[in-house]
Amino acid sequence: MKKRHQQKLVVLSLLLLVLFNLPIILLFDSSDSLFGLPIIYVYIFSVWLFLVLISLIIVERYYE
Smallest distance from the beta carbon of 50 to other proteins, in angstroms? 10
Distance between CA 44 and CA 59 in Å, rounded? Answer: 23
Beta bridge partners of 37: 34
Find the binding residues for other proteins in span 1-60 (CB under 8 A).
1, 6, 9-10, 12-13, 16-17, 20-23, 25-26, 29-31, 33, 35-38, 40-41, 44-45, 48-49, 51-52, 55-56, 59
Sites of contact with other proteins (CB under 8 A): 1, 6, 9-10, 12-13, 16-17, 20-23, 25-26, 29-31, 33, 35-38, 40-41, 44-45, 48-49, 51-52, 55-56, 59, 63
